[in-house]
Structures are given as C-alpha cells and as structure tokens.
Amino acid sequence: MFEALIRLNPSMIPKHQEMIEFKNPPQVNFGEIFIGISYLPTSERFTININKLRYFCKIEKEKKIDTRLTITLFHNGRRFLQKKIPLTLNGSTSIDYEIKDTITENIPQNDIYSVYVHVEFNSKDNSFISSSSILLGENTRYESDWHKMLEYPRQTHHRWYPFLG
C-alpha cells in the first residue's frame, strides 16, 4: 500500500549485479554480410534474404576454407528456428561470395517485437580469423533497421552488416 523510494549508493549494490558500461562498442571489422529483411503483416510472414559475403580475413590466401553461416531465430529468448549454410571460401579476400539463400517463417504480428535474428559466421578449423556474429531485433545495435522493417512492410530492406569483433 505504501511505497518508498530508496536511493542506492554504488557501495550498496553487490559486485555480481553491477552494470557494465562500455564506452565504445568494438569496431574491428571481420567482414560483412549483405542481408535483406522483410515482414508482411497481413500474411504474418518474416523473410530473411542472405545474398553476399565480403572482406574476410584468411590466414593463408590460396587455401580453400570450409566455413559455416548459422542463422538462428529467437522468440522471448528461446530458439525456434536454426539454419546452417555450409560455404567454401576460395582464393583472394577481395571477391564477394554469393550465397542466395532465403529463410521464411510465419510469425504473428504481436510476436514480431520479441523476435531476434542471430547471424553467426565461423570456420570448421583454425585457418580463418573471421568468426563473429550479428544480432538483429529490438534493443540491439541495429534497432533502427528493425523498426524500418516494421514501419514499411512489404519492402525488403537490404544492408551490409559488418561482423564486428
């Protein structure tokens, strides 16, 4: 019935509950991926188009490397879809690698706000140094792209997303 507001000093907060504040998020670029996202609210269909990869760092330039791109969809913290795309990167690092893959999932309108897309890129061995991930959704680094997708439905919003480390 009665509530009081108690001001906490930093000394009153336990060590394991302290907020970690990063001044600047990491900005080392480990490559980029060209992704298009769209949502159709009438049919409640969410689509991810994975098109290209570029600017990846390999240890040996002439060696072919087996890599894997993993796309995972989360709803309220629980995984409900995961797709693994095997890739073979060859030759130089200056070319764009074509993927041309599409993921379509039915997601209700009231649940789209609690969906997150996790894109992870890694190699099967230690001959590759571009292992990183991207997270799309509400309250993430790319929140503006997510809101743009929801504001302008029926359009595919394409962008190069950097794998930062």
Which residues pair with residue 118 across a beta bridge? Answer: 72, 135
The pLDDT value given to residue 89: 76
6-45 as b/e: b if 16+ CB within 10 A: eeeeeeeeeeeeeeeeeeeeeeeebbbbbbbbbbeeeeee
Question: In the prediction, which pLDDT does 92 show?
Answer: 58
Q: What is residue 64's predicted lDDT score, i.e. its pLDDT? A: 76
The CATH number that domain 28-164 falls under is 2.60.40.150
Instruction: Tell me if residue 118 falls in helix, strand or coil.
Output: strand
pLDDT means per 10 residues, the chain with 165 residues, are 66 68 68 92 94 77 79 90 87 72 93 91 69 86 92 92 83
Say if residue 74 is exposed, middle or buried (CB neighbours under 10 Å; 0-12, 13-18, 19+): middle
pLDDT at 22 (0 to 100): 59
Does pTM top 0.85 for this prediction?
Answer: no
Angle at alpha carbon of residue 73, lines to 26 and 157, rounded to 5°:
70
Confidence at residue 96, expressed as pLDDT on a 0 to 100 scale: 78
Domain ranges of the chain: 28-164
